[in-house]
Chains A and B, each alone.
Chain A
Amino acid sequence: MSLLTVSGSPHVHADQSVSKIMYGVVFSLVPAMLVSFYFFGLAAILVTLTAVVSCMAFEYLIQKYLIKGPLTIFDGSAIITGILLAFNVPANLPLGIVVIGSAVAIGMGKMTFGGLGKNPFNPALVGRVFLMISFPVQMTTYPRPEPFSTAITDAVTGPTPLTVLKDGITRGETISDLVTRLPEYTSLMIGNIGGSAGEISGIFLILGGLYMLFRKIISWHIPLAYLGSAAIFSGIFWLINPEVYIDPLFHLFSGGLMLGAIYMATDYATSPMSPKGMLLFGVGCGFLTIIIRLFGAYPEGVAFSILIMNAFVPLINRGFKPKRFGEEVKNG
């Protein structure tokens, strides 16, 4: 007989692993990815591929030559960062810029802190914000949706709904003036609008989110708190003056709000641990997003608000503990 294993309890383990969770997230991103391929065609495919491959490559190079540690590029997390970075940039972005974004996301956003699970800020958003500051023109030139398009950087471009709104309001136009230039709600929800490659289709992002909820990869706290608070804050302003502030439904389905609330804010490493903390984090994100959209210089505030809230996560974890057993004794 061979030797017996002796280890501490428990002796059974759930059928779970890091890569199972990560590939579950990748799978849930497929519907939204297909929508982006449909509306932005070849350009979106190229941007996504480039981002995924270069994120994995940078992780490999850093782990192999700088850290000289174990290689974990197939655990799926670099793939998610790649996909999310691609989702967060215009589909017609020159591929060289995509590679730079990937290097920043993986190198600066993730590996600097020790790799998977240790980064305080969402790596894909670090990449996106870096690109937005470094390449403001390319990063704000969005292609118009055109099914099965083969155009790459020569695509027909146009403003996103949020840009139309921001520019219009800044010029002093009212919502009723602008409404003709804004897309219908059905287009907004399906994703037949201009915008970053993966953020356009609210419906399919929700579908992916429901899949992650079903698989228990994420909990409902952050997405619901984020979307709910964004709806409430924008709703308050809309009720105050519907000619200056657009309705909550438009806010929910435009820009990167759905993508942010479902995929970026729920990132394990950069969000709070306890349910109460998650709710506060979500509300903070929703509040900041609407503040930036309504009063900031940028038309969109999702990336900044999530990064700002990321910085509060250690503090939230300290202040918001789970409900302890036997803490408040209510017996009867």
Chain B
Amino acid sequence: MKTFKIGGVHPPENKFSEKEPIQTLPLPKTVSIPLSQHLGVPAKPIVAKGDKVKTGQLIAKGEAFISANIHASASGKVAKIDAVMDASGYRKTCIIINVEEDEWEEGIDRDTSLIKDCSLSPKEIVDKVNENGIVGMGGATFPSHVKLMVPKGKKAEYLIINGVECEPYLTADHRMMLEKGEEIMVGITIQMKALGVDKAIIGIENNKPDAIKYMSSLAKDYKGISVEGLEVKYPQGAEKQLIKALINREVPSGKLPIEVGCVVHNVGTSFAVYEAVQKNKPLLERVVTVTGGILKKPANFWVRIGTPVNDLLEGAGGLPDNTGKVVSGGPMMGKALNDLNVPVTKGTSGIIIFSQQEAPRPPVQNCIRCAKCLTICPMGLEPYLLAILSDKKRVEECEEERILDCMECGSCLYICPSGRPLLDQIRVGKNLTQQMIRSRSN
């Protein structure tokens, strides 16, 4: 069974909602749509307070190279454009729409029948993806059209499709594959065409045997697409680890996957690409897993972007009494929320409820130098050392010890028997290191 070689952990999987079909969540009363739901420059609003907007209408334009368009996720009146707390804990500018009905913009095909053939040229595909505001839906939210344009001098050989879903608890991608497998396949062929590659590999961890079986049976009808089962190991869904696991190539430090001829897209993104290109549908809804050991009805929902987290919790049976922590994203890399009205964005893969017993961090004790953090670090770094160097602000040594290779997967803090805040300190060190590097070029 294939997997990556260096490090990795295997937290309890707790996929409570893997058997729950995706339901459509009722429309919320208001949606707050952030202008920055992607990596890169925030989009510029092109509507104003009081404007009537239709579902799917462009309301903010991504003008920079690395940016993405934002569309109205419901129809109604723009109530205001204001700063709203988002999952990161910062206030971000949002377009707030009072939802009236669900009147869709012209030209969006809402029929669910499968359209296989795509006659568009690669350039036209990239434009469609760009127009419809598609971003990476695994969590990193990198604008997808940028990834579909191979930089000059580089050549793409493989399209790697990420169906790993290595984060415990989350089941959104799993359900997508089971329910939207055909559309994902077509989305993959469209992306292959845009990139000019003839090989695509879908990586799926073998705790999802039904998805592996179903996707493999579909893949038979599509030339060049294969499905690979992978050993369950976190963080296999990280780009570099997934490429290593599937085709045994290592992306060099500080470089992108295209360096080794790969482009990596998530299965959810592939579905969004299908809808954008074949149905002209913008990215205005996504699948969100709402789960947790103490939640009454763990579920997977189709949710309009901008829906408050509270609405999702209602849909899953309400917030339990002894809730201690609410996390947006996976348990390893997600963010703990300090406000339950934060909106769902293009990158929200799940909402996880932890009980008061599960919520606190373990007590901090002396580092016993057990070297477990070093053994499990998937980038082959020394988290204990990076944490000390960060704490002592020895920034140059941080850089030498390759602190910027850290992708903040959280494995070190997960495994540490002394409960040391390794990743917290490393985050500070990464920031300081980036500052230092920036100041050098000035």
Q: Are A1 and B366 in contact (CB under 8 A)?
A: no
Q: Are A326 and B9 in contact (CB under 8 A)?
A: no
Q: Are B250 and A11 in contact (CB under 8 A)?
A: no
Q: Are B260 and A4 in contact (CB under 8 A)?
A: no
In the bound complex, CA of A322 to CA of B7 (Å):
11
Q: Which of A4, A115, A327, A329 contacts B325 (CB 8 A)?
A: A4
Q: Is B424 on the interface with A (CB-CB < 8 A)? A: yes
Q: Are A115 and B413 in contact (CB under 8 A)?
A: no
Q: Are B335 and A9 in contact (CB under 8 A)?
A: yes
Q: Are B380 and A268 in contact (CB under 8 A)?
A: no
Q: Are A5 and B414 in contact (CB under 8 A)?
A: no
- Cβ–Cβ < 8 Å partners of A273 in chain B: 369, 371, 374, 382, 384-385
- Cβ–Cβ < 8 Å partners of A323 in chain B: 6, 380
Q: Which of A5, A17, A72, A75 contacts B336 (CB 8 A)?
A: A5
Interface string of A1-36 (1 = CB under 8 A from B): 110111111111110111011000000000000000
Q: A8-B423, A325-B380 are in contact. Are A1 and B323 (CB under 8 A)?
A: yes
- Cβ–Cβ < 8 Å partners of B331 in chain A: 9-12
Q: Is A215 on the interface with B (CB-CB < 8 A)? A: no
Q: Are A322 and B423 in contact (CB under 8 A)?
A: no
- Cβ–Cβ < 8 Å partners of A5 in chain B: 324-325, 336, 354, 359-360
In the bound complex, CA of A8 to CA of B336 (Å):
7
Q: Are B415 and A16 in contact (CB under 8 A)?
A: yes
Q: Is A118 on the interface with B (CB-CB < 8 A)? A: yes
In the bound complex, CA of A273 to CA of B365 (Å):
18
Within 8 A of B (CB), among A98-121: 114-118
Q: Is A64 on the interface with B (CB-CB < 8 A)? A: no
Q: Are A325 and B240 in contact (CB under 8 A)?
A: yes
Closest to A278 in B: B371
Q: Is B362 on the interface with A (CB-CB < 8 A)? A: yes
In the bound complex, CA of A18 to CA of B369 (Å):
11
- Cβ–Cβ < 8 Å partners of A330 in chain B: 250
Q: Is A181 on the interface with B (CB-CB < 8 A)? A: no
In the bound complex, CA of A29 to CA of B51 (Å):
75
Q: Is B92 on the interface with A (CB-CB < 8 A)? A: no
Q: Is B40 on the interface with A (CB-CB < 8 A)? A: no
Q: Which of A13, A269, A274 contacts B419 (CB 8 A)?
A: A13
Q: Is B253 on the interface with A (CB-CB < 8 A)? A: yes
Q: Is A331 on the interface with B (CB-CB < 8 A)? A: yes
Q: Are A14 and B250 in contact (CB under 8 A)?
A: no
Within 8 A of B (CB), among A106-159: 114-118
In the bound complex, CA of A323 to CA of B7 (Å):
10
Q: Is B140 on the interface with A (CB-CB < 8 A)? A: no
Q: Is A324 on the interface with B (CB-CB < 8 A)? A: yes
In the bound complex, CA of A273 to CA of B382 (Å):
9
Q: Are B252 and A329 in contact (CB under 8 A)?
A: yes
Q: Are A324 and B381 in contact (CB under 8 A)?
A: yes
What bracket does the count of chain B residues touching chain A fall in?
35 or more
Q: Are B417 and A16 in contact (CB under 8 A)?
A: yes
Interface string of B382-425 (1 = CB under 8 A from A): 10110000000000000000100100101101111111010110
Q: Are A10 and B251 in contact (CB under 8 A)?
A: no
Q: Is B168 on the interface with A (CB-CB < 8 A)? A: yes
Closest to A10 in B: B410
Q: Which of B356, B366, B402 contacts A117 (CB 8 A)?
A: B366
Closest-CB distance, A8 to chain B (whole angstroms) = 5
The residue in A8, A11, A321, A330 that gathers the most chain B C-beta atoms within 10 A of its C-beta is A11
Q: Are A324 and B327 in contact (CB under 8 A)?
A: no
In the bound complex, CA of A273 to CA of B374 (Å):
7
Q: Is A174 on the interface with B (CB-CB < 8 A)? A: no
Closest-CB distance, B223 to chain A (whole angstroms) = 24
Q: Are A9 and B11 in contact (CB under 8 A)?
A: no
In the bound complex, CA of A21 to CA of B369 (Å):
12
Closest-CB distance, B264 to chain A (whole angstroms) = 15
Closest to B260 in A: A331
Q: Is A219 on the interface with B (CB-CB < 8 A)? A: yes
- Cβ–Cβ < 8 Å partners of A11 in chain B: 325, 327, 331-332, 334, 336, 352, 354, 358-359
In the bound complex, CA of A325 to CA of B240 (Å):
9
Closest-CB distance, B333 to chain A (whole angstroms) = 5
- Cβ–Cβ < 8 Å partners of A8 in chain B: 336, 421, 423-424, 427
Closest-CB distance, A213 to chain B (whole angstroms) = 14
Closest to A217 in B: B370
Closest to B322 in A: A2
Q: A16-B417, A273-B371 are in contact. Are A331 and B249 (CB under 8 A)?
A: yes
- Cβ–Cβ < 8 Å partners of B334 in chain A: 9, 11
In the bound complex, CA of A4 to CA of B380 (Å):
34
Q: Are A10 and B378 in contact (CB under 8 A)?
A: no
* 26 chain-A/chain-B pairs, Cβ below 8 angstroms: A1-B323, A4-B324, A7-B336, A7-B361, A8-B421, A8-B427, A9-B327, A9-B331, A9-B335, A9-B413, A12-B168, A18-B418, A21-B368, A114-B366, A116-B366, A117-B418, A219-B375, A268-B371, A269-B369, A274-B371, A274-B374, A321-B382, A325-B6, A327-B250, A327-B253, A331-B260
* Residues of B that sit less than 8 Å from A by CB: 6, 9, 11-12, 89, 168, 240, 244, 249-253, 255, 260, 319, 321, 323-327, 329, 331-338, 352, 354, 356, 358-362, 365-372, 374-375, 377-382, 384-385, 402, 405, 408, 410-411, 413-419, 421, 423-424, 427
Instruction: Give 5 new A-B contacts, CB below 8 A, not counting A8-B424, A8-B427.
Output: A4-B325, A9-B408, A10-B423, A274-B374, A322-B377
* Residues of A that sit less than 8 Å from B by CB: 1-2, 4-14, 16-18, 20-21, 72, 75, 77, 114-118, 219, 268-269, 271, 273-275, 317, 321-327, 329-331
Instruction: Please give me the 10 A-B residue pairs with the lowest Cβ-Cβ distance, nearest first.
Output: A10-B410, A16-B417, A324-B380, A5-B359, A117-B368, A117-B366, A10-B332, A325-B379, A6-B336, A273-B371
